[in-house]
């Protein structure tokens, strides 16, 4: 098994791709113009307490107020206590320290909690919750004892520690070093927010790519190829402290412009924006995202059914379950997900498909709950929201067309590719009115950073002949 990581950086966007034997298995896209706030800690102000919702709306400096439910606004023993009503905890105008647990979505503000946490690679620091607790996934009692003893001196009266599964086998020195680093961050937050006026951000989570390397970095990776020297230095430095075992894996790409294209990964990413997914057997998945839920249909296609329809349906559904798990993660599908599998009459066969899907999703960072088959034969599940899906980020919602922001970043890639293939030449980039307005307005800073990288050989022109998000590159 050949596991490789490729990091593609252009002005305005960074993509991290994990490939297994050349096949895309994980994807992270961080865009400079997107206001990602998941994991951030804010000093907020209670705007409104709504007894009917048993929740409060909190001003954290975003366009839409955050939502703080009563159960998320207090620390209590969920096995022995009931949460207090929201009106007994907060009054309008109160200051409150909150953390974002779910990004804002159209019509909804970010979901917030006062149960703060600072996540490291092996440890999570939990202000307001004391003691050292060890992940249940670590079953060896001697290892549990070692971990508790190593960190006993770092659990304070105002903050505790949760030891993650990744801590198993990690040296005491590294555990203590990470505990000290997280404690220092918390002490800084405590000191800083006392003198600030709400709304204000007091702690910002790492860039999505750096966070992935910290949380999901795996020594089993063969290499981490980066196509930009500055980005290579930045990610190497960030891993030196948090994930030192990854540092020797970093290398600069031999072909820095067409990294993902060279490894046939750019087409695999584009395929994630299409509703149809081919299966090896000849069948396909049809994925439709609606405002209420995600619907996935398993279609046997032109594949000829054999004499045993049940065995045929079981085989296709197993194949589909593995691909559905992959697509759910790569596309970041979330909320309610309804899967229309091929009909299965036997209960044991439906259980096999449910277990296959659960096993395929076992490594997913988002929490998935699989509820089984409904009376209509649909397999139902939910997945915790972790930002918008890939199609909602990349496509215009009213039509299957790329958004102007996506078109702009596509243009950046094309410009760099043409300059690499035609050294010494200059380029004229013609684009539609909306794309031109974007590059000379909201994304002007990113456009300027591209020009700093290329030099004054790229000229931008507006063309009335091109549609909204179209562009054309002419070599001069």
pLDDT tens, residue by residue, 439-453: 999 899 999 999 988
Q: Name the residue among 284, 285, 281, 405 with its Cα closest to residue 333.
A: 285
64 exposure class (CB count in 10 Å sphere: 0-12, 13-18, 19+): middle
Residue (of 328, 312, 331) closest to 272 by Cα position: 331
| Fold designation for 118-203 | Ribosomal Protein S5; domain 2 (3.30.230)
The pair of structure tokens assigned to 375 is 């009376």
Rg (CA), the chain: 25
The pLDDT value recorded for residue 303 is: 58
Distance in Å from the first CA to the final CA of the chain: 46
pLDDT band, residue 163 (cuts 50/70/90): very high
Is the pLDDT assigned to residue 401 strictly greater than 80?
A: no
Higher pLDDT, 170 or 77: 170
Q: What is the mean pLDDT of residues 127-135?
A: 87
What is the reported pLDDT for 309? Answer: 85
Whether the bond into 199 is cis, omega within 30 of 0: yes
**pLDDT at residue 235 in the model:** 93
Q: CA 197, CA 203: separation in Å to the nearest integer?
A: 14
Q: Residue 405 burial by CB count (10 A; 0-12/13-18/19+): exposed, middle or buried?
A: buried
The answer to whether residue 111 scores a pLDDT higher than 70 is yes
| In the block, residue with structure tokens 């279609």 | 299
Contacts of residue 62, defined as CB under 8 A and 6 or more positions apart, other chains included, come to 35, 37, 104, 109, 110
Predicted pLDDT at 136: 87
Cα-Cα-Cα-Cα dihedral of 390, 391, 393, 399, to 10°? 180
pLDDT greater than 70 at residue 399: no
Predicted local distance difference test score (pLDDT) of residue 398: 54
What pLDDT, on a 0 to 100 scale, did the predictor assign at position 156?
A: 73
pLDDT band, residue 192 (cuts 50/70/90): confident
Phi, psi angles (nearest 5°) of residue 333: -75, 140
- Average confidence score pLDDT of the chain: 89
Across residues 189-200, what is the average pLDDT? Answer: 89
Tens-place pLDDT, residues 294-347: 999 999 876 555 668 888 899 999 999 999 999 999 999 999 999 999 999 999
**Sequence-ordered list of residues with C-beta below 8 angstroms from that of 271, at least 6 positions apart, any chain:** 277
- 130 class by beta-carbon count within 10 Å (0-12 exposed, 13-18 middle, 19+ buried): middle
pLDDT at 181 over 60: yes
pTM higher than 0.85: no
CATH topology of domain 400-475: Hypothetical Protein Ychn; Chain: A, (3.40.1260)
Domain with CATH 2.40.50.140 in the chain: 41-113
| CA atoms of 135 and 461, how far apart (whole Å) | 57
Longest dimension (CA), the chain: 75
* pLDDT given for residue 113 in this prediction: 96
Q: Range(s) for CATH 3.30.420.60 in the chain?
A: 3-35+207-267
Of 176, 167, 175, 179, residue with least CA distance to 136:
167
Give the whole-angstrom CA distance, residue 117 versus residue 158.
12
pLDDT of residue 470: 84
Is residue 137's pLDDT more than 90? Answer: no
pLDDT in the model for residue 1: 76
- The residue among 55, 92, 51 whose CA lies nearest residue 71 is 55
Ranges in the chain annotated CATH 3.40.1260.20: 400-475
* Residue 360 DSSP code: H
CATH 3.30.230 domain range(s) in the chain: 118-203
Name the fold adopted by 41-113: OB fold (Dihydrolipoamide Acetyltransferase, E2P) (2.40.50)
Query: To the nearest whole percent, how much of the chain has pLDDT over 90?
Result: 52
Considering only residues 305 and 434, tell me which one the structure prediction assigns the higher pLDDT.
434
**What distance in Å separates the CA atoms of residue 225 and residue 203, rounded to the nearest whole number?**
30
pLDDT of residue 131: 85
- pLDDT per position as a tens digit, 240-291: 878 888 999 999 988 777 888 888 898 999 999 999 999 988 889 999 998 8
Task: Give 203-216 pLDDT, tens digit per residue.
Answer: 998 888 998 998 88
State residue 112's pLDDT score: 96
Q: What is the CATH T-level fold of the domain 3-35+207-267, as seen in this structure?
A: Nucleotidyltransferase; domain 5 (3.30.420)
Contact call for residues 326 and 360 (beta carbons, < 8 A): yes
């Amino acid at each position: 098994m050949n596991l490789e990581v490729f990091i593609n950086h252009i002005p305005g966007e960074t993509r991290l791709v994990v490939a297994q034997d050349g096949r895309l298995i994980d994807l992270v896209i961080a865009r400079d113009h997107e206001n990602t706030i998941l994991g951030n800690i804010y000093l907020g102000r209670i705007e409104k307490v709504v007894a009917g919702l048993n929740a409060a709306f909190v001003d954290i400096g975003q366009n839409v107020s955050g939502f703080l439910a009563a159960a998320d606004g207090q620390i209590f023993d969920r096995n022995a206590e009931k949460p207090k009503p929201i009106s007994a905890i907060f009054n309008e105008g109160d200051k409150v320290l909150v953390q974002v647990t779910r990004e804002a979505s159209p019509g909804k503000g970010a979901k917030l909690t006062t149960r703060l946490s600072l996540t490291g690679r092996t440890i999570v620091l939990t202000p307001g919750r004391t003691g050292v607790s060890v992940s249940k996934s670590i079953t060896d009692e001697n290892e549990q004892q070692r971990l508790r003893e190593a960190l006993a001196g770092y659990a304070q009266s105002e903050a505790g520690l949760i030891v993650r599964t990744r801590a198993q086998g990690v040296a005491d020195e590294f555990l203590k070093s990470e505990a000290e680093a997280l404690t220092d961050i918390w002490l800084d937050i405590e000191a800083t927010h006392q003198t600030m006026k709400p709304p204000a951000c007091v702690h910002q989570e790492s860039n999505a790519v750096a966070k992935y390397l910290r949380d999901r970095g795996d020594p089993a990776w063969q290499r981490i190829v980066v196509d930009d020297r500055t980005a290579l230095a930045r990610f190497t430095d960030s891993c030196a402290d948090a994930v030192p075992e990854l540092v020797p894996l970093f290398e600069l790409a031999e072909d820095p412009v067409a990294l993902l294209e060279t490894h046939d990964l750019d087409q695999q990413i584009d395929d994630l924006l299409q509703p149809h997914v081919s299966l090896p057997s000849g069948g396909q998945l049809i994925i439709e995202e609606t405002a209420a839920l995600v619907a996935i249909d398993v279609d046997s296609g032109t594949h000829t059914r054999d004499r045993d329809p049940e065995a045929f349906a079981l085989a296709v559904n197993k194949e589909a379950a593995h691909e559905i798990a992959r697509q759910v993660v790569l596309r970041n599908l979330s909320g309610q997900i309804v899967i229309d599998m091929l009909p299965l009459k036997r209960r044991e066969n439906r259980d096999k498909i449910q277990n296959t899907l659960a096993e395929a999703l076992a490594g997913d960072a988002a929490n998935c709950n699989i509820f089984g088959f409904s009376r209509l034969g649909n397999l139902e599940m939910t997945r915790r929201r972790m930002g918008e899906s890939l199609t909602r980020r990349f496509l215009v919602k009213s039509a299957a067309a790329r958004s102007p922001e996506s078109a702009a970043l596509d243009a950046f890639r094309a410009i760099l590719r043409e300059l690499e293939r035609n050294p010494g030449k200059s380029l004229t980039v013609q684009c539609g009115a909306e794309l031109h307005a974007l590059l000379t307005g909201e994304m002007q800073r990113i456009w300027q950073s591209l020009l700093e990288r290329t030099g004054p050989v790229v000229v931008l022109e507006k063309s009335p002949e091109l549609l909204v998000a179209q562009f054309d590159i002419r070599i001069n």
